[in-house]
Amino acid sequence: MSDHRVLLLAHGSSDPKWCQTFERLAAPSLASVPDSAIAYMELSEPSLDDEIARAAREGVSRITVLPLFLAAGRHLRKDVPAMLERLSSEHQVEITLAGPVGEHPLLGDAIRHIVEESLTGTPSH
């Protein structure tokens, strides 16, 4: 375990199949990034609260929260920053909130490949 933990933040859903898809989506990142984990904002477990408390208990002093969201709306502009401010103070850890993955141009390109493939039924990559 390092001094720095990466939490891949997902919204969460009351539908367990949503979380299964999400876990598959996050799997390559979790396999590649040391000391990383998934945390859900609401409705699913483990919650962001739980994962930040666990990191603090385990002696981690710096956490990067990386939202696996397509775009930043009210949740990422208001709710999550407020949650992180409270959790940072409560657990005495430094928390950085990164931009959502959907703001990176690479994601729009990947979506184009997937859309093309969905329509033709054959891999375009």
| Interacting residue ranges for its own copies, rule: CB under 8 A | 6, 8, 10, 13-15, 17-19, 21-22, 24-29, 32-33, 36, 64, 66, 68-74, 77, 98-104, 106-119, 125
Rounded to the nearest whole angstrom, what is the least distance from the CB of residue 122 to its own copies in the complex? 13
Phi, psi of 42, rounded to the nearest 5 degrees: -160, 165
State which residue, 73 or 89, has the beta carbon closest to its own copies. Answer: 73
Cα distances (Å, whole numbers) of residue 20 to 2, 25, 40, 105:
27, 9, 13, 26
State which residue, 90 or 110, has the beta carbon closest to its own copies. Answer: 110
Rounded to the nearest whole angstrom, what is the least distance from the CB of residue 57 to its own copies in the complex? 23
Coil, strand or helix: which one is 75?
helix
Rounded to the nearest whole angstrom, what is the least distance from the CB of residue 56 to its own copies in the complex? 20
Number of neighbours of residue 25 by Cβ within 10 angstroms = 14
User: Which of 109, 115, 111, 57 is CA-nearest to residue 87?
Assistant: 57
* Residue 116 CB contacts under 8 Å (≥ 6 apart), including other chains: 124
Rounded to the nearest whole angstrom, what is the least distance from the CB of residue 58 to its own copies in the complex? 19
State which residue, 57 or 77, has the beta carbon closest to its own copies. Answer: 77
State which residue, 47 or 64, has the beta carbon closest to its own copies. Answer: 64
